[in-house]
Amino acid sequence: RRLQTLRLVTQSEAQNEVTVQGIDDIFKARTRVAKDEEREVIWYKMVGNYPPYADYQEKTEREIPVVILEKIT
């Protein structure tokens, strides 16, 4: 399910846990940064959905992180 509106409400950096609020859902999730091939696949999908991401990446020397949220059940 795709969240149209997403807001990270709280974060505990030590545990990489966040509370996520969507339009009609609030849930806890763990965060991690996508690396290597996983990041590349996701990054190209993101750029396909929102091309200005590529423009932003070109304007910076750092690699823009792709953060994965894994719902805690």
pLDDT of residue 5: 47
Mean per-residue pLDDT of the chain: 83
Residue 70 has pLDDT above 50, yes or no: yes
Residue 11 has pLDDT above 90, yes or no: no
pLDDT of residue 4: 44
Beta carbons within 8 Å of 38's beta carbon, 6+ residues apart: none
Long-range contacts of 30-33 (CB under 8 A, 24+ apart): 30/69, 30/70, 30/72, 31/67, 31/68, 31/69, 31/70, 32/67, 32/68, 32/70, 33/65, 33/66, 33/67, 33/68
Residue 64 has pLDDT above 60, yes or no: yes
In this prediction, residues 29-46 reach a mean pLDDT of 93
CA distance 43 to 22: 22
Q: State the pTM of this model.
A: 0.70
pLDDT of residue 55: 95
